[in-house]
Structure 1
Amino acid sequence: MKITITPAASKWFHEDMGVTTGNGVRFYGKTYGKTAVHHGFSIGVMRDDDPHRPIAITEIDGVKYYVNDRDDWFFKGYDLTVDFDAENDGPKYEYTPNHEED
């Protein structure tokens, strides 16, 4: 799994979530909602500065963006791109199949 954070999304996380160098942002699967690839589940995001057994991590502008191993079920088989959606004034998520082995 690969995580890509666009410059516009990074700016949003810094300005709206207040993250700064040394902070972390965790993406996770949660019940209810839907995504382009999941029904009954949606993506969650939270400030968490301590990655625990990450399966994917990328650092942009001093902030670590990651997914922990306990959320492998939600992201398995996909790379995640996080961009900024000006219409909704928040992040938008794109899932790209990566053909990971089961």
Structure 2
Amino acid sequence: MKITVSDAASQWFQDEMGLTSGNGVRFYGKVYGKTPVHNGFSLAMARDDDPGEMYASTIKDGINYFVAMPDEWFFKGLDFGIDFDPDKGENLIYTYTENGEL
């Protein structure tokens, strides 16, 4: 699994969540909602500076964006992209791309 964070999204996390180098953001699936690849589950995130065992991670501007091992089920077989476009509102833009991993 590959996690990609755009420059605009990185700036959003720094501005909106007050993150600086050494901080982390964990992404995970939660019950209820919908994503383009899941019915009945939606994406959630939380600040987490101590990730433990990770399924996937990337560091952008010194911030660790990651998925922990217990959340592998939500992202298995997918690459995950995070972007932000201020012209489209205040929401982050998430993309899920199949990567062929089983």
- Mark yes or no: TM-score above 0.5: yes
TM-score (norm 1): 0.96
Alignment of 1:19-98 (within 5 A): 19-86=19-86, 87-98=88-99
AA in 2 matched with 1:90: N
Per-residue CA deviation, residues 53-76 of structure 1 (Å, 9 max, x unaligned), is 101010000100000000011000
The percentage of counterpart residues that share the same residue type is 55
CA–CA distance in structure 2, aligned partners of residues 53 and 21 of structure 1 = 20
Runs of 4+ in structure 1 off by over 3 angstroms are none
TM-score (norm 2): 0.96
CA–CA distance in structure 1, aligned partners of residues 2 and 12 of structure 2 = 20
CA–CA distance in structure 2, aligned partners of residues 74 and 100 of structure 1 = 13
CA–CA distance in structure 1, aligned partners of residues 93 and 31 of structure 2 = 18
Cα distance, 1:40 vs structure 2: 0.6
The Cα RMSD (Å) is 0.8
Per-residue CA deviation, residues 68-89 of structure 1 (Å, 9 max, x unaligned), is 0000110001000000142231
Per-residue CA deviation, residues 11-67 of structure 1 (Å, 9 max, x unaligned), is 000000111010000000001110000001000011000112101010000100000
Q: Say which SS state the counterpart of residue 70 (structure 1) adopts.
A: helix
